[in-house]
Amino acid sequence: MNSRLRTFLSILFILCTQIIAAQGVNNTESLDSLLRNVKKPNEKVDIIIAFLEKPENHYSDNAIDIANRAYQIAEQNNYVLGKVRALLKLGNSYFRSSNYKKAMEYAQKSKEMSEDLDFDKELALSCSLIGTIYNELGDYDNSSQFFFKSLKIFEKLDDKEGISRSLGKIGMVFYYQKDYKKALEYYNNSLSIAKQINIPSLIKMQYNNIANVYSVFNKYDTAIVLFRKALAINIKIGDKLGEGTNIMNIGYIQMNKGNYEDAFLSFQQALDLASELNNSKCMAECYINFGYCYYTINRIDESIDYFKKALKEGQRNGFYNIISQAAKMLNQIYTKKQDTIKAYKYVTLEKTASDSLYASQEQKHILKLELQYIYEKKEIERQREQHKKTIITLIIIFSLISGLVILGLIFSSHRLKSKLVITEKEKIELELISKDRELTVNLISLIKKNEMLTNLSNKLEQLEQSTKSSETRDKIIRISKELRDNTEDKMFVEFTTRFQEVHAGFYEKLLKFYPDLTKNELNLCAFLRLNMSSKDISELTNQQVSAIEQARYRLRKKLRIVNLETNLVTFLSQV
């Protein structure tokens, strides 16, 4: 009997954590009142998600509709974090309604989006949900893999609550595989962290988990102490479903220890709470518990009544496990009473329920394989897509690098050309400066020659005045004139030749735009182009400075320089 009760206690714990608790308050109206004055769509999504976070709303009939409402708002307003969180809520809601295929679909979507957008916490929660689905389907290898991945992410984030929950779920995997020592290790680690961060819901969850392990070890006193600690927390936070589960577990231990009166009281309290919540599943479990307890103390007729109540509740709601247990006990009782007709009736019901349970288990197994196939297929597609994206990214990066290299080469080539052009220009300018200097030196030399010839001419004039012979005087005058004319002609020819070499095309350009310029005016332009002063020009040409100034004035008029601010030398230097 103890072995059967231990097994049943484990089943009860598993089932009661997934039971749908009917709510007395209309959740939709309650939520609408919260959203009434909220204008921003993102805030609405956050409020809906927070609403679904509350334990009393986890199992509501319209949880899926509410989560879908959050998703639609987030999608319409491109609120990506809201979309991921809404997908998680949809996945959890479908899981609680036992639609594991839909739950997995939304869990995988949230996982993929979280990975793409680097939402680490949401990725951890997605992995945890996928692990929970696999665990429910009995695929412990995959469930533990995702729970450990979730744990690793929470540890990276230093999220104590996430770490505690992950440790508890890993412990649950070991518990289902009957590795109770390992389960206890993870439950205790989870409890330790839950106490550090003082989250009552986490603390009482691990008290329940640890108590169940001690129940398996037949350490009932320790187990009952832990169940009572969990019960106190449930009473404090107002979790009536949790209260009922704790009290029912306490009743089991009391029955195992032979404290039947206490067990009856506990089962009655649990039944009252289940009735208050209108929770058919818990009520059926309570009827089964009463039946076992009465059967154990040989109050057969009373046990029959409760087994029949459990059977009726199970048939009305399709609880095959309840139907199977109740029918099995009724078959056993009527067989002992040698009432073969009733015994046969219940053995048939038991077989039908067992077949349905088996079919359900087979369906879960097939679903597990299907989900595994879908998941692996999506992962392969995702890896291919990721590989494709990686290749495209590498091509883009390579193209950008190649483009930058080409641009760099073009820029370097342009800089080099520019540098060469500048160098060449500077070279030409240096050559021009050098030639200008050479030309200037040549002009200075001409000026000196001119001064010397002028002195010589003056001396000849003095000699002419002192000579008495008219014939000699005429010869001196003729020599002086020839000397002066030849010197001036040679000087200007030499100057013009050298100037043209340095400033090729200067005269041509001037004549093209100002064809009325005379030879003397062209020479004056050349002198000014060399930045010679009026004094230097007068010494070179044997003219008065005032005459040079007058010539400059006439030249300005011919060049049509009206603006007095325009410098004549600057103007000619630009020709």
The pLDDT assigned to 433 comes to: 63
How far is the C-alpha of 363 from the C-alpha of 236, rounded, in Å? 40
Q: Hey, CA dihedral for 346, 348, 351, 357, is it positive or negative? A: negative
> What number of residues does the chain have?
575
Residue 542 φ then ψ, to 5°: 60, 35
How far is the C-alpha of 538 from the C-alpha of 16, rounded, in Å? 123
Tell me what the mean pLDDT of segment 267-291 comes to: 91
300: which residues sit within 8 A by CB, 6+ positions away? 294, 333
How far is the C-alpha of 369 from the C-alpha of 141, rounded, in Å? 13
Residue 172 pLDDT more than 80?
A: yes
Are 522 and 496 in contact by the 8 Å Cβ rule? The answer is no
Here the tokens at position 115 are 């990975």
CA-based nearest residue to 224, from 258, 242, 247: 247
Q: Hey, CA dihedral for 107, 112, 114, 120, is it positive or negative? A: positive
Burial 116-151 (b: 16+ CB within 10 A, else e): eeebbebbbbbbbbbbbbbbbbebbebbbbbbbbbb
Give 501's DSSP letter: H
12: which residues sit within 8 A by CB, 6+ positions away? 245, 248, 249, 252, 285
> Which helix (H) or strand (E) element contains residue 98?
none
CA angle 139, 141, 146 (to 5 degrees): 100
Here the tokens at position 343 are 């015994």
pLDDT tens sequence across 555-570: 888 888 878 778 888 8
Give 503's DSSP letter: S
pLDDT tens sequence across 300-314: 999 999 999 999 999
Q: Which domains does the chain show, CATH number per domain?
A: 504-575 (1.10.10)
First to last CA, the chain: 122
Q: Hey, CA dihedral for 549, 550, 555, 558, is it positive or negative? A: positive
pLDDT band at 24 (very low <50, low <70, confident <90, very high): very low
Instruction: Out of 252-261, 312-321, 357-366, 420-429, pick the least confident.
Output: 357-366
Residue appearing with tokens 């205790």: 188
Residue 177 pLDDT more than 50?
A: yes
| Other beta carbons within 10 Å of 364 | 16
CA-based nearest residue to 213, from 202, 200, 227, 201: 227
Instruction: Out of 42-51, 182-191, 394-403, 432-441, pick the least confident.
Output: 432-441
Amino acid letter at 64?
Answer: I
pLDDT band at 358 (very low <50, low <70, confident <90, very high): low
The pLDDT assigned to 368 comes to: 63
> Which helix (H) or strand (E) element contains residue 451?
helix 340-466
Here the tokens at position 561 are 């320089």
CA-based nearest residue to 370, from 144, 102, 109: 102
Instruction: Out of 112-121, 276-285, 352-361, pick the least confident.
Output: 352-361
CA-based nearest residue to 12, from 322, 323, 363, 328: 322
CA-based nearest residue to 296, from 269, 270, 345, 263: 263
pLDDT band at 451 (very low <50, low <70, confident <90, very high): low
How far is the C-alpha of 530 from the C-alpha of 133, rounded, in Å? 97
Here the tokens at position 374 are 């879908």
Amino acid letter at 308?
Answer: K
pTM (2 d.p.): 0.61
pLDDT tens sequence across 409-427: 888 777 777 677 666 666 7
Are 346 and 334 in contact by the 8 Å Cβ rule? The answer is yes
Q: What percent of the chain has pLDDT over 70?
A: 81
Residue 12 φ then ψ, to 5°: -60, -45
The pLDDT assigned to 39 comes to: 86
Are 226 and 184 in contact by the 8 Å Cβ rule? The answer is no
Question: Residue 361: left if φ>0, alpha if ψ -120 to 50, beta else—which one?
Answer: alpha
pLDDT tens sequence across 371-393: 666 766 766 776 777 778 788 88
The pLDDT assigned to 7 comes to: 43
377: which residues sit within 8 A by CB, 6+ positions away? none
Instruction: Provide, for the chain, the percentages of residues in helix, strand and coil under a 3-state DSSP scheme, each rounded to the nearest 5.
Output: 85, 0, 15
The pLDDT assigned to 484 comes to: 63
Residue 129 pLDDT more than 50?
A: yes
Hey, which of 23-37, 227-241, 448-462 has the most confident mean pLDDT? 227-241
The pLDDT assigned to 1 comes to: 40
